A and B are shown apart, each in its own frame.
Chain A
């Protein structure tokens, strides 16, 4: 079974621009979560989508948004980029939908650099 894929792997943007990152979950997985990883803050939860609905949200400004499509693929968008948005953005998928929380499987990440 193919793993979680993320595109693009690397991005360079300038301040004020916006960016869209894409994530394709493992086949059959219905939940997609996004995390931001930086040297200073570590791994922080951004949001989770399940059945095209945002089910959980972390403590990030409204410039960070996401969506999920009917095939479970997800995108996240960051508008008005700031230097501090430079990070590795990780996507994770789970089967979800059951009583118990499932294990999350991560993609390779998208490295975003804001100049």
Chain B
């Protein structure tokens, strides 16, 4: 079956530091890949997505590239802010067909110090 593995957390960074959050996946087909972010007390917000190999998703300074050869979708940001403190989830869904089910990684908590 499908699965998503995220690096262990939590992660604590100083403001303006570089961020990398690793995500690898296992899927039988050709999945779409997502990063969702969850702020305290809220639901999940879509951060970015990529639907095929070599696609790069980007939003709010965050980027992730769909690497089929390494089955990875690592999240990066060049300079984090205190407001980026949240929980980040990597997820996949089957791209073809009517199956909208998302498979999530365990999530990683990011704390950014001023």
Cα distance, A84 to B106, chains bound together (Å): 18
Q: Is the CB of B43 within 8 A of A90?
A: yes
Identify the stretch in B16-24, B71-79, B94-102 within 8 Å (CB) of chain A at 4 or more residues. B94-102
Cα distance, A35 to B46, chains bound together (Å): 15
Cα distance, A101 to B34, chains bound together (Å): 12
**CB under 8 Å from chain B, chain A span 79-109:** 90, 92, 94, 96-97, 99-109
The answer, among B51, B98, B100, for a CB contact under 8 Å with A104, is: B100
B97 shortest CB reach to chain A, Å: 7
A55 at the binding interface (Cβ < 8 Å): yes
Cα distance, A56 to B99, chains bound together (Å): 7
A24 at the binding interface (Cβ < 8 Å): no
Q: How many A-B residue pairs have CB under 8 A?
A: 71
The interface size of chain A toward B, counting residues with CB under 8 Å, comes to: 29
Q: Is the CB of A101 within 8 A of B106?
A: no
Q: Which residues of A contact B12 (CB under 8 A)?
A: none
Taking A31-B100, A108-B43 as contacts, is the C-beta distance between A101 and B89 under 8 angstroms?
no
B103 at the binding interface (Cβ < 8 Å): yes
B68 shortest CB reach to chain A, Å: 17
Q: Is the CB of A101 within 8 A of B104?
A: no
B72 shortest CB reach to chain A, Å: 20
A62 at the binding interface (Cβ < 8 Å): no
Taking A100-B51, A101-B32 as contacts, is the C-beta distance between A56 and B44 under 8 angstroms?
no
**CB under 8 Å from chain A, chain B span 12-69:** 32, 34, 36, 42-46, 49, 51
**CB under 8 Å from chain B, chain A span 38-91:** 42-43, 45, 48, 50, 55-56, 58, 90
A33 at the binding interface (Cβ < 8 Å): yes
Cα distance, A43 to B44, chains bound together (Å): 11
The residues of A with any CB-CB pair to B shorter than 8 Å are 4, 6, 31, 33, 35, 42-43, 45, 48, 50, 55-56, 58, 90, 92, 94, 96-97, 99-109
